[in-house]
Structure 1
Amino acid sequence: MPHIPVDENLPGIAGLFAFRPETAAPLGQFAEVLLRGPSSLTVGERELIATVVSRANECEFCFRSHAAVAAEALDGGRAAVDAACRNADDAPVSPKVGALLKIALAVRETGRAVTGELVAAARAGGATDLEIHDTVLISAAFCLFNRYVDGLGAITPDNDELYRQMGARLLHGGYLGVGAAS
């Protein structure tokens, strides 16, 4: 149950964004740049990073919504997403993405957990400095988003079809309109 009054028709972060549009706008732009802006990482790879971090942070809403986007965007679909959430070593992703997932999981513990060895493994897998940077930033941002959603007790539906629809909408429409009444 939400800790503040939110529109019951706007689950998760959308309800929180509608509650405080002044903070929603820059946070939505931030998410748009991180997950949709120019990058050599695909949308699916960036969404997978957000998903794995959200799962590890036990943020059910963010996990389910971003897993739906990643499943829509990745060739391996939901099976690849679930495998990555279980164990980055066993995920059916490139060595680069597997190494980046390990960096993302280290960041969610503490930024100091990112070691030279993790960075070297990512570079050996083909990651660029920009991809390493963006992975750290996506992970750190999703720690913020996860704590925002869970800290205010945002509405978290238990409806797989709703998340599938949300994933398709976010994949094709992005994050700038999240929280807008539609």
Structure 2
Amino acid sequence: MAHIDLGLDERAHPGINGPMLFRPETAGPLNQLAEALLRAPHPTLTAGERELIAAYVSGLNECRFCCASHSAFAAAQLPAGMPLVDQVRADPATAEISDKLRALLTVAAAVQRGGREVTGAHVDAARAAGATDLEIHDTVLIAAAFCMFNRYVDGLGTLAPDDPAVYEMSARRIVADGYRAT
């Protein structure tokens, strides 16, 4: 049960969905941010790769709902699907991803620990692996935003369903319709 009364059935509106219904005036900007970061056209990072960054950071933050959601969203948009997502979440150093994505995940992990944890060496390594300044910028912003989203969900003590089918159903909706008020 959430820490506050959201005035709804949490089973029907788990995780971030309940708080967004509770405060629609903040849900709009939060959904717009997620849409811009994860779904909007990007010159080089696919929606699946951006969702993978979100899932990875959410896993590092131990946010069950966001990690499961964005893992499903990434899997639905990556050719290698959930096996790749699981590899990345377990150990990006050995996952079957590009050196560039591996370096960006290293940057994302540094952001998750704290903004000042990102060093010039992280940025230089990402550039050496082929990352552009736009990709580095967007990785930092995705990681920072997901630290906020994770804390929003967990700070209110929202429900994180155990059934993977819940997240797969949400993934189909997100892939088809994007982020919008629930």
TM class by shorter chain equals over 0.9
Which of 112, 117, 122 aligns to 1:113? It is 117
Amino acid at match of 2:65: F
The TM-score with structure 1 as length reference comes to: 0.95
Match of 1:54 in 2: 58
The TM-score with structure 2 as length reference comes to: 0.95
Match of 1:138 in 2: 142
Match of 2:92 in 1: 88
Match of 1:22 in 2: 25
Q: How many residues are aligned here?
A: 178
Amino acid at match of 1:32: E
Matched, 1:169 2:173: yes
Q: Distance in 1 between matches of 2:172 and 2:72?
A: 7
Shift of 1:38: 2.4
Amino acid at match of 1:115: T
Q: Distance in 1 between matches of 2:102 and 2:176?
A: 25
Amino acid at match of 2:35: E
Which structure 2 residue ranges, 5 or more long, are not aligned? none
Which of 150, 154, 160 aligns to 1:156? It is 160
Which structure 1 residue ranges, 5 or more long, are not aligned? none
- CA RMSD in angstroms, aligned pairs only: 0.9
Residues 58-67 or 74-83, more deviating = 74-83
Cα shift readout 1:108-147 (whole Å, capped 9, x = no counterpart): 0011111111111111111110000000000000000000
Is residue 76–residue 92 contact of structure 1 (8 Å, CA) maintained in 2? no
Q: Distance in 1 between matches of 2:91 and 2:122?
A: 16
Q: Distance in 1 between matches of 2:175 and 2:89?
A: 20
Q: What secondary structure is seen at the aligned counterpart in 1 of 2:150?
A: helix
Residues 130-139 or 164-173, more deviating = 164-173
Instruction: Give % identity.
Output: 55
